[in-house]
Structures are given as C-alpha cells and as structure tokens.
Amino acid sequence: MTRRAAVADPNAPFRQLDLPLFAPDEPAVSAAAAPQAAALAVPEPAPRLSVPAAPPAPSRPQGAALSPALFRHPRASREIDLGRAVIAYEFQRARRRSIGMVVSAEGLSVRAPRWVGRSEIDAALREKAAWIQAKLVEQHERAQKHAASRIEWRDGASLPFLGETLILVLDPRATGAVLNSDAAALPGVPRLTLHIGLPHSAAPEQIRDVVQAWLQRQAKRLFEERCTHFAPRLNVQVRRLALSSAQTRWGSASADGSVRLNWRLIHFALPTIDYVVAHELAHLREMNHSPRFWDVVRSVIPDLDTARGALRHEMVPAFD
C-alpha cells in the first residue's frame, strides 16, 4: 500500500502533495519555542501556535486615542494587558501537555492543561506578546485588504489578470467575453478591457459568472502551455492536468502524473504562475519539500523567493 503524505486525501489511490493557497507567515510552533519562517512547509502536529489566514478587527475605546488597541474574541472569557494591546481571549482547558495558542479569524484562543495555573498562562502570553500582537495586526490588515478586494460586478469594474488591471465593459454587441488590448494606452492607464455580451441591466451574478468562466478558460489554456514548457526541462511527464477551485491550495501533484492548478492563479503575473507550475511539476520527481526538491525547482525558477513573496502578500479578488 502506497504511503500518503499528511495532506493527501485519505481516499485517494495515490500519494499527493499540495501547495498551500495562503502560505502561513510563520510555521506553527509551541508556546515555549521561538517563531521561525517556513513559507510552504506542511504544518507539524499540535501542540503549537498556529496562525489561520483571516484576522480579527481591533478596536479602541472611544475618547482614548493613546490607549492600547483592543482585540476581543467573541467568546472571550479572559483578558490580559500586554502593554501595546489588551487581548480578550477565549480560554479552554484541554487534555494536552503544554499551553496552546491560536490566532484565528475571531481572535486569540488559548488552551492549557488542567494543572497549569493562571499565572503560568499569563507568563506564557507575555513571553509571546510581540508575536501575538504582530499576528493580530497582520491579520487585521489582511482583513481590510480582503474587504477592499471584493468586486462590485458592474460596467467599469476592475480585477487583476496576469498581473495587470482588467476593466469590465458591458457590451451587448459582444458575443460571450472578448479581450481587447490598447497598445497606445497612456502610462498608468489600464490597457486591457474585457467586453462582455450583456446589457447594462444585467444582474451582478450574471456578470460574475461570465467573467469567471472566461478566466477559467484562460487559466486552462495558459497552464497547459506552461506545463508543456516546463515538463521536458524537469524531465517529468504530466499525464493529467485539471483546474482546481480549492480555497486553501494553489496546486497539487500526484505520483501518477496528475497535476491540479488553482484557476485563481490567472490573477498573478506570469513569473508567479510559472513558479507554482514548476513547484508542482517538481513534485513529480521529489514527493516532498526536501533540499533536493528545492534544487529541482530552482533549476528552472532561480528567483523563486520573489514568486513565493507574491503568493504570500498579494490579495486575490473576492468573488463572493
């Protein structure tokens, strides 16, 4: 029986490795350990500090501009003043051997063994104060970016396409969706327009569905082209390529030669897309993230750190 990676579908007949959609800013670490960077590593088992993608929103008491920021979990049962911020956190007793801290969409959650006292928990939180506050702020900023990335599906709306700005134009004369490029566009003015064969009275959902279908077609065509480009250079064979709509993974590769790539990559510039394609194809030679695997990726993507940075920091538009 083939041994599967930890991130594989347990029902899949082959070994599979996935590339995270939003790589964690830091890996999960225990409350007693120092945080360290590992952008695309598979997280290790609990107990640990983990940082999910969505942030809580901080607030300040009215009339107290210089007061510490306040981060409050909706199920907060305890509170601690960490100097620069007051953290109201969810607390639970759990069957574990160490104190666990999780920063999630709702805020900070803390779990501790029954034998650990309040003073020890407070000490652990203060030890990790800088890390906790930084992650809460980072995630708040990410939430703001996510809110700003929501598309208003109407004539004149914009979204990223291959790293450029694409303007939507409702044009009943068009058939389906037609891409136009203005080579004479002034600097700073978007040169790409997508003419959609819908009237100005079209519902937002209609516009969204037409645009999404068009983007998926472009993604499939481009991914096939880039796989054809990289496969012989990496000495691998792609037996099946499929689009993915996963919420947490940019792509995955299986030992049988199957590759899945998230169609939302079409929002990024080509160097970033090439990195993800090369990353997944490299897994067809090394089904791990060992130094040998990264050597394979670098053989075709020397500047992979820049591409990984784009995946980490750039925000794709929200389609919901």
pLDDT digits (tens, 9 = 90+) for 180-216: 998 877 787 789 999 999 999 999 999 999 999 999 9
Going from N- to C-terminal start, the domains of the chain cover 46-148, 158-313
Q: What is the pLDDT of residue 2?
A: 35
pTM for the whole structure: 0.64
Rounded distance between C-alpha atoms, residue 133 and residue 304, angstroms:
30
The fourth-level CATH superfamily of domain 158-313 is Metalloproteases ("zincins"), catalytic domain (3.30.2010.10)
Contacts of 92 (CB under 8 A, 6+ apart): 109, 110, 111, 112
pLDDT of residue 119: 94
Looking at residue 138, its pLDDT comes to 82
What pLDDT score was predicted for residue 145? 74
What was the pLDDT predicted at 143?
76
Question: Which residues in the chain show pLDDT less than 70?
Answer: 1-68, 320
pLDDT at 68: 64
Task: From residue 141, give the alpha-carbon distance in Å to each of 56, 58, 144, 146, 183.
Answer: 9, 10, 5, 9, 35
Q: Please say whether the beta carbons of 287 and 5 come within 8 A.
A: yes
